[in-house]
Amino acid sequence: MENMVSVISVANQKGGVGKTTTTINLAASIAERGYQVLIVDIDPQGNATSGLGIEKSAIDQDIYSVLINDVPLKDTIFHTSTNRLDLVPATINLSGAETELISMMARETRLKSALDSISDNYDFIFIDCPPSLGQLSINAFTASDSILIPVQSEYYAMEGLSQLLNTIRLVQKHFNKDLGVEGVLLTMLDARTNLGAEVVKEVRSYFSDKVYKTIIPRITKLAEAPSYGQAITEYAPNSRGAEVYDDLAKEVLKNHGKKLKK
């Protein structure tokens, strides 16, 4: 039978738009609903890694070891404190990979090959991308079924999105013809300003039904949770932040024809 895992890159080459926050909390919400989920951190900043409570000192092999030194991906997997949620960590080592990959054989497909070896164990794999469109993001897109694009609800929200869409097209053309857009997520909406509403309108008119109904507001607890090494589902399970990411999880599961297990 065909492999049923869905591999989703969370990408936008702008920094600070909510990629890592979305990766952690969407993945944790889907895991809470009974699915096996893996996060692959491919940002040298390692924010998804630290945000899920994995200490640097505990990591001897990370995604760099997989991409550059052919370490089996299964040997780098950590279980997190959330049931059914695993993580492949990134450390600052990974910052060298952008240039090291350039001279390697089959450089664009290295992450894909590594993920193929474990994909039977998961329902969803989320790749937390770096804020750039270099070799690491190309590896992520080549390994993915689709891209989830977080867009911050502020001026210039759409800036840079045409470059991102161009990169997606290039990867479709050369490495992964089935790559699609999973969805566009409006993040960090400040309900007190009119500006937010304007941006929501603009993004909806450009991406129409690709935009999730769920909009993530600016919520302090979402910003606090990573410093406790926890997803919002664990840090504040009954909070508004947990509720909105569960709403997003329900949309994503529905789009994939998956049951809501609770």
Chain centroid, CA 61 distance in Å: 20
Exposed e or buried b per residue across 77-92, where buried means at least 16 C-beta atoms within 10 angstroms of its C-beta: bbebebebbbbbbbbe
Based on its alpha-carbon atoms, the radius of gyration of the chain, rounded to whole angstroms, reads 17
Nearer to Mg ion, 20 or 76 (CB): 20
Least distance to ligand ADP, CB of residue 245, Å: 9
Contact partner at residue 146 from ligand ADP, Mg ion, none, CB < 5 to 8 Å by partner kind: none
Residues at the contact surface with ligand ADP, assessed by CB under 6 A: 15-21, 47, 131, 187-188, 216, 218-219, 222-223
Contact partner at residue 54 from Mg ion, ligand ADP, none, CB < 5 to 8 Å by partner kind: none
Nearer to Mg ion, 41 or 246 (CB): 41
- In angstroms, the CA 94 to CA 98 distance is 8
Nearer to Mg ion, 42 or 186 (CB): 42
Residues at the contact surface with Mg ion, assessed by CB under 5 A: 19-20, 47
Classify 156 as helix, strand or coil: coil
Classify 122 in phi/psi space as left (phi over 0), alpha (psi -120 to 50) or beta.
Answer: beta
Least distance to Mg ion, CB of residue 43, Å: 5
Least distance to ligand ADP, CB of residue 254, Å: 22
